[in-house]
Amino acid sequence: MKKNKHPKNYRIVVFKDTSNDKFLLCRSTVDTKNNVIEINNKKYPLYKMEISSFSHPFFTGKMKYVDTEGRIEKFKKKYQKK
């Protein structure tokens, strides 16, 4: 194995899904902006995500309804000729 190939800041990070407040401990090199969370009396860097496998419709099986008809009508109203 070659030396100096792996990143130096490889550590355990808490990934938190902000949409449902679930979290996951994983090794990563992600920049965490000095946020720290304590789990089981140990402090870990925190990285906040808006969507993860805990909340993504593909993994949860719950599809969100999008009102496309209302959006189209709003677009037509905004750009119709006067």
Residue 34 lies in a domain: yes
Contact (CB, 8 A) for 15 and 24: yes
**Is 5 a domain residue?**
no
- The reported pLDDT for the residue numbered 21 is 82
pTM over 0.85: no
Q: Is 1 part of any domain?
A: no
Residue 64 in domain: yes
Note whether residue 51 is domain-resident. Answer: yes
Does residue 2 lie in a domain region? no
The number of distinct structural domains making up the chain is: 1
Instruction: Give the pLDDT of residue 68.
Output: 58
Rounded Cα gap, residues 14 and 12, in angstroms:
7
Structure tokens at 28: 């990563």
- pLDDT at 51 (0 to 100): 77
Beta carbons of 77 and 71 less than 8 angstroms apart: no
Q: Is residue 21, in this structure, part of any structural domain at all?
A: yes
Q: What is the pLDDT along the chain (82 residues), one digit of tens a residue?
A: 678 887 888 889 988 888 888 888 989 998 888 778 888 888 899 988 877 777 766 666 676 655 556 777 778 888 887 6
Domain extent, residue 47, equals 11-79
C-alpha 40/C-alpha 71 separation (Å) is 47
- Residue 49 domain flag: yes
